[in-house]
Amino acid sequence: MTNFRKKNKIMSSVFDVQKTIREILLKILDSHSLEQLNKVPNGFNNNIIWNIGHCISSQQVLVYKLSGLPTMVSEEFIAKYRKGTKPEGDVSQAEVDEIRTLLSTTLEKTKNDFESGLFVDYHEYTTSLGFTLSHVQGALDFNNYHEGLHTGVIMALRKLV
């Protein structure tokens, strides 16, 4: 197998993992009411919908911004869901619908952009967990880990709402 085919097979697996995570998040969105998505249980500082928005925001920063490319989401969206924030109020059904759409569209665009060779530069970044990301492939790997962590948080939250 050539190096190109090996790399494509590995990256296909990365996108398959992210697709599975995103499908789980979509099912959670579809099986909870707006009230449940917005509820912040005692002992937590965020809710289900914030965690899902955070996954989208972080993916856009880790993959696109650090590659010097424009994001699919607004700066306001990134600011609202970035690390260190928490819900400042309930989100509307319209925002939930936007987040639902972004779960799929950001994944598909990222996969297509990667396959077309759009990601050329990357600004090295060390995450708060100590992972140093030096290329987009590492960012995509770390993003899956990050989304997996937040999916676990969401699984705990959904039992309390």
Q: Which domains does the chain have, with CATH numbers?
A: 3-158 (1.20.120.450)
pLDDT value at 67 more than 90: yes
How far is Cα 83 from Cα 154, in angstroms, rounded to an integer?
Answer: 16
Nearest in space to 29 (alpha carbons), one of 61, 14, 59, 51: 51
Convert the pLDDT of each residue in 113-139 to its tens digit: 999 999 999 999 999 989 999 999 999
Task: Please spell the DSSP secondary structure of 104-147, one letter per residue.
Answer: HHHHHHHHHHHHTT-------EE-TTSPEE-SHHHHHHHHHHHH
How far is Cα 66 from Cα 70, in angstroms, rounded to an integer?
Answer: 10
How far is Cα 8 from Cα 11, in angstroms, rounded to an integer?
Answer: 5
- What backbone phi and psi angles, to 5 degrees, belong to 14? -60, -45
Pairwise pLDDT comparison (79 vs 6), residue with the higher score: 79
Query: How far is CA 111 from each of CA 71, 114, 131, rounded to the nearest angstrom?
Result: 14, 5, 22
What is the pLDDT at residue 129?
Answer: 87
Convert the pLDDT of each residue in 71-125 to its tens digit: 999 999 999 999 999 999 999 999 999 999 999 999 999 999 999 999 999 999 9
Nearest in space to 36 (alpha carbons), one of 110, 90, 80, 95: 90
What is the pLDDT at residue 132?
Answer: 96
What is the pLDDT at residue 3?
Answer: 52
How far is Cα 40 from Cα 38, in angstroms, rounded to an integer?
Answer: 6
